[in-house]
Amino acid sequence: MIERLLLFAENRYARLVLVGLMVLTLQTTVFNDVRPFGVCLQVMVLLAASAGLARGSDVGAIGGFIIGLLYDLVLTTPMGLCAAVFAIVGYLAGVGQSLVYAPTWWTRMLLGSIASAIGMILLPIASTVTGATGILNAHVLFVALIVGLFNAVLSVPAERLCRWALTEPAAVR
Amino acid sequence: MADLSFTRRRAILLLSLTSVILITMDLRGSSIINFTRSAFGVVFRPIESATKVVTRPIGNAWNGMTHYNDVVKENHRLNDLVAFSEGSTISAIASVREAQELLSLNGLPTLAGIASCTAQVVGQSPSNFTQTVEINRGSECGLKVGMPVLNAAGMIGKITDVYNKRSVVMLLTDPGYSLAVKIVNLPAPTTTTTGAPGATVGDTTTTTSSTTTTTLPRVTTTTGIPGFVPGATIATSSTLAPLPGEVTVPAEDVGPNQPGKSTNSEITVPPGLDVPLRETGALEGRGISRNPIVRFVENQPRFGAVRIGSPIISAGGATSLAPPDIVIGSVSRVVNRTGTLGPILEVTLAANLKNLNFVRILLYQPSSERVIAP
């Protein structure tokens, strides 16, 4: 039993779920209260982008999907919507990282910021596709800009957190 | 390399398919998805509540830094408003009671006869694209999807998700919100003329009757509630000159249904009253940064031009989710359109949706949805 529990804990996606839950509590509490320029900061999308930055596009897509699914559980949007969008964000962040010759901290910041902003633009588009009305307007760009800027600040620690969570089990041992 | 590409394609395909299946299931109201959300809520809420206690000082510090000046200004404004409102409150309460008595005497439904449940707002949506709040009452209190939610100022939204001990309220500003409403058009703003006979002051107006001519000083009367003058009745006469001190209203300034004046209609309006006209429309939310609008207002000449400040109240009806006569707000802007297209009205909500605390949920179901006992 304990052996199985340890095996589960060693799984990198299980660790990502636990990290995701922690960040989700911060998202629904402190980042829900702190709204610079009236915009709710989105650290969940940053986590999805960081998964891609830390471990590449494939792991980023799966990690983004898991994080999006967690976020879907507390939102009123259709289940799977954030999962799909965050999977794209994680994938794009991973692809972007692979295109950089020698990644540095500031390139990660830039990529995390851009991926977050893309996520904030894709989310209302996806909502509109699923039937929501009136949310696709110029305000989306403002939200994307603010979220991108603030996520740039937080992207380095988020990327380190994801790098740790998504480490291969052998490396952990 | 080809193997890796195949694995990647398969993974992406799998993720896409899963998303599509989940979205489809949720949009079709799958009970599995609802159960998963509910179960996750049961596990996650205590963790969230604990985190909220720990992180509250951070939020308070941020709000203190960014909103201090606004709060001080708001406090001054509210103090003025309270002082201003106290005078008219007693008259308003008396009017409401009389209206309720009249409605009950005539067997018409009133809000007082609808059971309600009080709840507290415990959280808001962390999304930038949906305007919802969470309250700490659920199905245990008898709440159902669609029930209207009010605070002391007026309607704030409707319930969209119900769990055992919590519910999600979609606010009026959400783009997905729509409700049938009534617009009560106000009579034109009146300038009353009064004063002592023979007195002459700078800006004057002259009224002439068959026997006397008096020169009266102009006095403009305004109240905080447009069209509402406690204790005042508007009576007009086109043949008699006003007595000194009597309130008069120019004939062209009163509403289209002038009291005491006969038209070809069989309906007569008793003198002493200026009954406001009502027209229906559909209220739609447009997001947190923009005021809701009212569409589908018919361009009727009888209704006349909609005035800024006209109250908006719920229309009610057999299929409407809200009972009639709940205060929603007032018209803040009128966008006229050409042809037979009616105007679009921007609405300033009576309730302040940014500071919601205690709310009341009317346990109301439209007559078309009530289960009739066998």
Query: Among B7, B36, B130, whose Cβ lies nearest the Cβ of A77?
Result: B130
- Could you give the CA distance from residue A23 to residue A26 in angstroms, rounded to a whole number? 5
Interface of B with A in 184-243 (CB under 8 A): none
Q: Report the C-alpha gap between B279 and B269 in whole angstroms.
A: 18
Lowest mean pLDDT among A89-93, A146-150, B188-192, B231-235: B231-235
Over the stretch A117-158, which tens digit does the pLDDT of each residue have?
999 999 999 999 988 888 888 889 999 999 999 999 999 999
Distance CA A88, CA B16 (A): 10
Q: Does B126 touch chain A (CB under 8 A)?
A: yes
Instruction: Name the residue type at position B64.
Output: G
Structural domain spans, chain B: 20-108, 116-186+276-369, 190-260
Q: How far is it, in rounded angstroms, from Cα A100 to Cα A96?
A: 7
**B116-186+276-369 homologous superfamily:** Rod shape-determining protein MreC, domain 1 (2.40.10.340)
pLDDT tens digits along B219-252: 444 444 444 444 444 433 334 444 454 444 454 4
Question: Chain B contacts of A91, Cβ < 8 Å?
Answer: 12
Check residue A9 and give its pLDDT. Answer: 73
Cα–Cα distance measured from residue A17 to residue B67, given in angstroms and rounded to the nearest whole number: 35
**In this structure, are residues B146 and B308 in contact, taking their beta carbons and an 8 Å threshold?**
no
Cα–Cα distance for residue pair B18/B151, rounded to 1 Å? 41
**Which residue in B27, B40, B44 is closest to A130 by CB distance?**
B27
pLDDT tens digit sequence for B258-276:
444 444 544 544 544 455 5
What confidence tens digit (pLDDT) does each residue in B96-136 have?
777 777 776 776 666 667 888 999 998 888 788 888 999 98
Percent of chain A predicted with pLDDT > 70? 97
Listed by start position, the domains of chain A span 2-172
Asked if B302 contacts B255 with a C-beta cutoff of 8 angstroms, the reply is no
Helix H or strand E segment including B332:
strand B327-335
**pLDDT for residue B342:** 76
Q: Which CATH number fits domain A2-172: 2.30.30, 1.20.120, 1.10.1760, 1.10.260?
A: 1.10.1760
Contact residues for B13 (Cβ-Cβ < 8 A; gap 6+): none
How far is residue B303 from each of residues A79, A80, B51, B334, measured CA to CA in Å?
46, 48, 54, 14
Neighbours of A2 (CB within 10 A): 6
CB contact under 8 A, B58 and A30: yes
Q: CA A88 from chain center: how many Å? A: 10
Q: How many CB atoms lie within 10 A of CB B280?
A: 14
User: What string of DSSP letters covers B140-163?
Assistant: GGT--TT-EEE-SSSEEEEEEEE-
Contact in structure between A108 and A161 (CB atoms under 8 Å): no
Instruction: With a cut of 50, say whether residue B195 has pLDDT above it.
Output: no
pLDDT of residue B171: 92
CA within 13 Å, CB half, A13: 12
Assembly ipTM: 0.82
3-state helix vs strand vs coil in chain A, percent to 5:
80, 0, 20
- Complete DSSP assignment for B177-242: -EEEEEEEPPPPP---B---TT---SSEEEEE-SS-EEEEEB-----SSTT--TT------SSSPP
Is there a contact between B126 and A40 if contact means CB atoms under 8 Å apart? Answer: yes
Mean pLDDT of the residues in chain A: 89
Could you tell me which residues come within 8 angstroms of residue B282 by beta carbon, excluding any fewer than 6 positions away? Answer: B178, B179, B180, B181, B294, B295, B296
| Mutation site, A23, A33, A139, A141, interface B, largest B CB count within 10 A | A33
Picking from B21, B27, B127, the nearest residue to A75 by CB comes out as: B127
**B94 vs A163, which has greater pLDDT?**
A163
Residue B206 and residue B215 in contact, taking contact as beta carbons nearer than 8 Å: yes
B334 φ/ψ angles, rounded to the nearest 5 degrees:
-120, 120
Alpha carbons A88 and A66: distance in angstroms, whole number: 12
**Nearest of A167, A173, A170 to residue A51 by alpha carbon:** A167
**DSSP H helix total and E strand total for chain A:** 8, 0
DSSP string, A139-161: HHHHHHHHHHHHHHHHHHHHHHH
Give pLDDT, residue B237: 38
Contacts of A30 in chain B (CB under 8 A): 51, 55, 58-59
Q: Are B144 and B129 in contact (CB under 8 A)?
A: no
Q: Is A89 on the interface with B (CB under 8 A)?
A: no
Closest CA to A20 of A56, A85, A72: A72
